[in-house]
Amino acid sequence: MDTSIYFSNKNRWIIPVFFFIVAILLRLYKLDFSFSNDELSAILRAQQNNFDDLLDKGVKVDGHPAGVEIFLFFWIKLFGNSEFAIRFPFVIMSSLAVVFAYLFARKRFGISTAIMIASTLTVLEFPLMYGQIARPYASGLFLSTFLVWAWDKVVNPNNYKRNYIIFYNIILSLALTLNAYNHYFSLLFAAIVYISGYAYISKKKLISYSIIGIFSIIMFLPHLSISLQQLSYGGVGEWLSAPKWNFFYEHIIHIFNDSLFLFIGTIAFVFVFHITSEKWNKDLYKDRIVLLLWFLLPMLIGYFYSVYRNPVLQNRVLIFSMPFLLIFIFSFMPRSTKSWQFSSIWLAFIIFLTHTVFIKSFYKKQHFIDFKGIAEMYHKTHSEIPEEDILSLAQVNSPKYLQFYLKNINTNFALDEISNSKKLLELQHILDTTNAKYLEYVVLKPQNRIALMMMESKYRDKVKSKFYKWNNGYFLFKKEDNMTYLDKHSFEKKYFFEERNKQDISKNQYSFSKSFSIFKNEDYILSLNLLFKSDIVFKNVNIIITKTRKNTTTDWFAIPLKYFHHWAKDWSVVDFDLPIKVQKEEILKVYIWNQEKERIIIKDYQIGLKQKDEAVQKNN
């Protein structure tokens, strides 16, 4: 096969246009999925009456630069706030990132590297997923590749005429500024790229290159006061934990669809090309070192800032530097290719595409919180059941996010956030005093597991549930006062323990102790049911769930019984199903710990473990 057609000036746009079209199609497919939490936050903040309100109520209260919020402010006024209308420009920007990465890689490293970077940016799950949502990650991916393309034109000019050199200087300055206004990590990346240019720029161009940077700083100065105010908030450390030492490895694997196999396969593919090529890029060590620095420095700076100051590091904020690890890997491929190699490159594209769409089931997964789907369930419930019969509870960042999809139906949550002991006591009072026949629980952010256990124990008939993840679900329970407490669940004997006699554990620190040995990694449902009573307000009686391996505790969880103690009844009920992930060779143990030997009697308790197959055996 003659591959020269793809190298001629006449046909040089065939390949990038092909990838651009494929990228758009993949991102437009099923684009009408629910707005994510971050998107709804940005959309609601962008819908202000004037620009001053936008800055005060839409930008200053957030932790991102104003660029995307200002864009949404004007875009929504012109095109509305549907999923397609708002996301479309971000789809285009994400797809343009493929083109600019291709152009940069082709000039520096040749057609093989260019096609491989275009393939991966087009179809890998990481850039594809964030290329579908209206957040600064799609725009930042475009701006980072656009920046590097313009930077290369300035530091490595191809005998451009003077007017072209001035044009590219202006473009580079604009790209630096736009990155700064897009996201603070894209600002960091832009600064690293700009500084690295001093290793390339000739002495006679030092002044003009410095002016580019100075002019970009000047254009960002109007935003400086906003940035200082935002940085004073402390970032996202309230809900984001500091990264662990293995974050670097996990991030690299995340780029390759969270697949070690795909990563190793890609490295092996490049290695085969490298050793079978008669001519390959031998004098590109400086360029490769720079590429590695572009990828590593934002991650290292973010890591140490997160560990020693405030957690900010996540996979998504590194999407701006991600393409340059891929270009580094693919830079070891030959600049020119043989026919079989050229065919293999396109085969690799098909493999990447197949892995994302079919093996990873990209379009079948729920990547973000399903506000739209949960709003539909909420609407259906409230159209079928009288409002006075429903107790509505929620775990949400803001009821306005759900309200966006409910249109003319207003939410009325007795509690819209249940995350600490004070809120759990409020929940206990509500459950103890309500006469509502139905309980509705909307989960749109990480929830407190004990809250759901309390609801299940009070309303033991689950009418409806849709549970995607621990931070995304909808539950509808019905109160059945005459419901038989015992024999609610069905278990095989070896997964189940039952004791109906009373036990006074007032003089003991520990009650029953039941264990299950695990023989393979699996997701289980631990069901626990018991009745208890006490004539005191006890403080420190807990159901303890532990996981151990080789006599070492790997995890444990305490459930305070005080949140289930209902004074209106003689006996209080604990009755819940707890999703739990247990690993091979772990032992799952359940017991009651009466640490201060407080007065309490328990009876009629059942412990069962549900699973998909024969993987658990009761440990006698």
Pair (426, 287) in one structural domain: no
Segment 118-137 shows an average pLDDT of: 98
User: What is the percentage of the chain residues whose pLDDT exceeds 70?
Assistant: 89
Alpha carbon 366 to its chain's center: 11
Classify residue 483: in a domain, yes or no: no
Pair (190, 250) in one structural domain: yes
Does 614 have pLDDT greater than 50?
Answer: no
Pair (267, 139) in one structural domain: yes
Listed range (114-128, 170-184, 471-485, 488-502) with the worst mean pLDDT: 488-502
Does 317 have pLDDT greater than 70?
Answer: yes
Pair (382, 531) in one structural domain: no
Pair (84, 206) in one structural domain: yes
Segment 575-579 shows an average pLDDT of: 85
Q: Residue 310: exposed, middle, or buried by beta-carbon count in 10 A (0-12, 13-18, 19+)?
A: middle
**Can you give the pLDDT at residue 135?**
97
Determine phi and psi for 165, rounding to 5 degrees.
-65, -45
Segment 535-558 shows an average pLDDT of: 87
- Is the CB of residue 35 less than 8 Å from the CB of residue 43? yes
**Can you give the pLDDT at residue 493?**
47
List of residues 6+ apart from 378 with CB closer than 8 A: 402, 406, 409, 411, 440, 442, 474
Pair (474, 532) in one structural domain: no
Residue, of 588 and 86, whose pLDDT is higher:
86
Per-residue pLDDT band for 506 (boundaries 50, 70, 90) equals confident
**Can you give the pLDDT at residue 620?**
35
Q: Is the pTM of this model over 0.75?
A: yes
Does 177 have pLDDT greater than 90?
Answer: yes
**Can you give the pLDDT at residue 159?**
66
Segment 122-141 shows an average pLDDT of: 98
**Can you give the pLDDT at residue 338?**
72
Point out the domain boundary residue: 415, 449, 478.
478
**Can you give the pLDDT at residue 612?**
52
Pair (358, 412) in one structural domain: no
**Can you give the pLDDT at residue 486?**
45
Classify residue 123: in a domain, yes or no: yes
List of residues 6+ apart from 543 with CB closer than 8 A: 528, 558, 559, 561, 574, 590, 591, 592, 593
**Can you give the pLDDT at residue 496?**
60
**For residue 555, what is the enclosing H or E element?**
strand 552-560
SS3 string, 289-317, reads HHHHHHHHHHHHHHHHHHHHCCCCCCHHH
Segment 148-174 shows an average pLDDT of: 87
Does 165 have pLDDT greater than 80?
Answer: yes
Rounded to whole angstroms, the Cα distance separating 144 from 117 reads 14
Per residue in 398-420, pLDDT (tens digit) is 999 999 999 878 888 999 999 88
Beta strands 496-499 and 601-610 are antiparallel
Tokens 């991966």 correspond to what residue? 120
Pair (507, 444) in one structural domain: no
Per-residue pLDDT band for 551 (boundaries 50, 70, 90) equals confident
Segment 158-178 shows an average pLDDT of: 87
Does 104 have pLDDT greater than 90?
Answer: yes
Determine phi and psi for 441, rounding to 5 degrees.
-130, 115
Does 35 have pLDDT greater than 80?
Answer: yes
Rounded to whole angstroms, the Cα distance separating 127 from 145 reads 13
Per residue in 442-481, pLDDT (tens digit) is 999 988 889 999 998 888 777 777 776 768 889 999 887 6
The dihedral formed by the CA atoms of 435, 439, 442 and 447, expressed in degrees to the nearest 10: 90
Segment 279-294 shows an average pLDDT of: 84
- Is the CB of residue 140 less than 8 Å from the CB of residue 320? yes
Collapsed DSSP state (helix, strand, coil) of residue 422: helix
Rounded to whole angstroms, the Cα distance separating 158 from 178 reads 25
Classify residue 488: in a domain, yes or no: no
Pair (386, 354) in one structural domain: no
Rounded to whole angstroms, the Cα distance separating 80 from 73 reads 10
Per-residue pLDDT band for 497 (boundaries 50, 70, 90) equals low
Point out the domain boundary residue: 430, 452, 478.
478
Does 495 have pLDDT greater than 60?
Answer: no
**Can you give the pLDDT at residue 499?**
67
- Is the CB of residue 353 less than 8 Å from the CB of residue 222? no
| Domain enclosing residue 452, as ranges | 371-478
- Is the CB of residue 439 less than 8 Å from the CB of residue 476? yes
Does 372 have pLDDT greater than 90?
Answer: yes
**Averaging pLDDT over each range in 15-24, 104-113, 571-580, which range is the top one?**
15-24
Tokens 């949400």 correspond to what residue? 396
∠ CA(232), CA(236), CA(241), 5° rounding?
A: 130
User: What is the percentage of the chain residues whose pLDDT exceeds 90?
Assistant: 60
Classify residue 501: in a domain, yes or no: yes
Rounded to whole angstroms, the Cα distance separating 106 from 100 reads 10
72 in the Ramachandran plot: left (φ > 0), alpha (ψ -120 to 50) or beta? alpha
Q: pLDDT averaged over the chain?
A: 88
**Can you give the pLDDT at residue 361?**
96
Listed range (13-17, 80-84, 418-422, 568-572) with the worst mean pLDDT: 568-572
Classify residue 487: in a domain, yes or no: no
Q: What is the CATH number of the domain that holds 532?
A: 2.60.120
**Can you give the pLDDT at residue 540?**
86
Q: Residue 586: exposed, middle, or buried by beta-carbon count in 10 A (0-12, 13-18, 19+)?
A: buried
Residue, of 342 and 266, whose pLDDT is higher:
266
Collapsed DSSP state (helix, strand, coil) of residue 103: helix
Pair (474, 603) in one structural domain: no
Does 328 have pLDDT greater than 90?
Answer: yes
**For residue 142, what is the enclosing H or E element?**
helix 136-155
Residue, of 239 and 258, whose pLDDT is higher:
258
**Averaging pLDDT over each range in 291-295, 335-339, 524-528, 532-536, which range is the top one?**
291-295
Classify residue 343: in a domain, yes or no: yes
Rounded to whole angstroms, the Cα distance separating 575 from 454 reads 8
Classify residue 485: in a domain, yes or no: no
Q: Residue 448: exposed, middle, or buried by beta-carbon count in 10 A (0-12, 13-18, 19+)?
A: middle
Point out the domain boundary residue: 311, 336, 364.
364
Residue, of 610 and 275, whose pLDDT is higher:
275
Does 237 have pLDDT greater than 50?
Answer: no
Terminal C-alpha separation, the chain? 69
What is the CB neighbour count within 10 angstroms for residue 402?
23
Pair (393, 528) in one structural domain: no
Does 441 have pLDDT greater than 70?
Answer: yes
Classify residue 215: in a domain, yes or no: yes
Does 484 have pLDDT greater than 50?
Answer: no
What is the CB neighbour count within 10 angstroms for residue 430?
18
**Can you give the pLDDT at residue 80?**
95
Number of domains, the chain: 3
List of residues 6+ apart from 160 with CB closer than 8 A: 153, 168
Beta strands 461-469 and 541-549 are unpaired
Pair (331, 466) in one structural domain: no
What is the token pair recorded at 594?
């009466």
Residue, of 234 and 166, whose pLDDT is higher:
166
